[in-house]
C-alpha cells in the first residue's frame, strides 16, 4: 500500500444484501468509523473514497460497516480483500487522539533499527497479518523479517526515529 494512507481495517466479505461489509479492524481508534467520516478502499493502484454511513463492532476486531452509495451485495463483494484507510494528512491532523505511548504503524517506516547498540538497518515495510512482521533492510540492501512483538522490538525511542531490536538467536543469519 502506498504510504500516503494509514490502514485502519481490512475488508473480509460482503455482509448483507444491502451492501454492508464485514471488516477486520486494525485501528485502536473507533472514531475513524464515525458516521460521515471519509474512508478510502485501497488495493494496489485502485483507490476509492467512501463516506461511512454506519458502523457496529461484532466480536473481537470484527465489525460491520456500510458506506453511503454502496447499496447492493454485488458492489460490496468487489471490495473483498481491499484495505480501508484514512489519508495520512487526516491522521496527522488527529494525532492528538493518540496517547503518549501510541503511534501509527507508518511512524515505524524509516526508523533506524539498532541491535546491541549498533545501527543494524532501517524499517522499510510492515507485513500485517495474524502476527505483524517488520521488514528491516541493512546497508547492503539485504532484508530481514522480524516479528513485531514486545520481546524483540522496543519502540520506546520511536520519537527519535529509532527502535531497538533483539531477534532470537539464529533469526538473522547474515
Counts of helices then strands in the chain (DSSP H, E): 2, 12
Q: Is the pTM of this model over 0.85?
A: no
Beta bridge partners of 154: 164
Lowest mean pLDDT of 50-54, 96-100, 105-109, name the range: 96-100
How far is it, in rounded angstroms, from Cα 105 to Cα 153?
Answer: 13
Question: What are the residue ranges spanned by the domains of the chain?
Answer: 5-97, 105-165
| Contact call for residues 127 and 145 (beta carbons, < 8 A) | yes
pLDDT at residue 44 greater than cutoff 50: yes
pLDDT at residue 97 greater than cutoff 90: no
Place of cell 538497518: 121
Residue 50's pLDDT is 97
pLDDT at residue 6 greater than cutoff 80: yes
Provide the percentage of residues in the chain whose pLDDT is more than 70. 97
SS3 160: helix
Q: Do domains 5-97 and 105-165 have the same CATH topology?
A: no
Arch. (CATH architecture) of 105-165: Roll (2.30)
pLDDT at residue 2 greater than cutoff 80: no
SS3 90: helix
Dump pLDDT digits (tens) for 105-149.
888 989 999 999 999 999 999 887 668 899 999 999 999 999 999
How far is it, in rounded angstroms, from Cα 171 to Cα 24?
Answer: 29
pLDDT at residue 55 greater than cutoff 70: yes
Q: Going edge to edge, which strands form the sheet with 112-115? A: 143-147, 133-137, 118-127, 112-115, 162-165, 153-154
Cα radius of gyration rounded to whole Å, the chain: 18
Other Cβ atoms less than 10 A from the Cβ of 106: the count is 17
- Fold designation for 5-97: Elongation Factor Tu (Ef-tu); domain 3 (2.40.30)
User: At 73, which helix (H) or strand (E)?
Assistant: helix 73-77
Residue 174's pLDDT is 56
Amino acid at each position: 500500500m502506498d504510504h500516503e494512507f494509514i490502514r485502519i481495517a481490512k475488508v473480509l466479505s460482503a455482509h448483507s444484501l444491502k451492501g454492508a461489509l464485514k471488516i477486520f479492524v486494525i485501528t485502536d481508534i473507533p472514531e475513524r468509523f464515525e458516521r460521515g467520516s471519509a474512508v478510502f478502499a485501497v488495493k494496489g493502484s485502485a483507490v476509492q473514497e467512501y463516506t461511512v454511513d454506519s458502523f457496529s463492532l461484532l466480536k473481537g476486531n470484527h465489525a460491520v460497516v456500510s458506506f453511503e452509495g454502496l447499496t447492493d451485495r454485488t458492489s460490496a463483494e468487489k471490495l473483498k480483500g481491499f484495505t480501508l484507510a484514512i489519508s495520512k494528512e487526516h491522521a496527522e491532523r488527529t494525532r492528538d487522539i493518540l496517547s503518549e505511548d501510541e503511534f501509527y504503524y507508518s511512524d515505524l517506516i524509516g526508523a533506524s533499527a539498532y541491535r546491541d547498540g549498533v545501527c543494524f538497518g532501517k524499517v522499510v515495510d510492515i507485513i500485517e497479518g495474524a502476527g505483524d512482521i517488520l521488514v528491516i533492510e541493512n546497508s547492503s540492501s539485504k532484508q530481514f523479517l522480524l516479528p513485531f512483538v514486545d520481546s524483540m522490538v522496543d519502540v520506546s525511542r520511536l520519537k527519535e526515529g529509532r527502535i531497538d531490536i533483539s531477534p532470537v538467536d539464529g533469526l538473522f543469519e547474515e
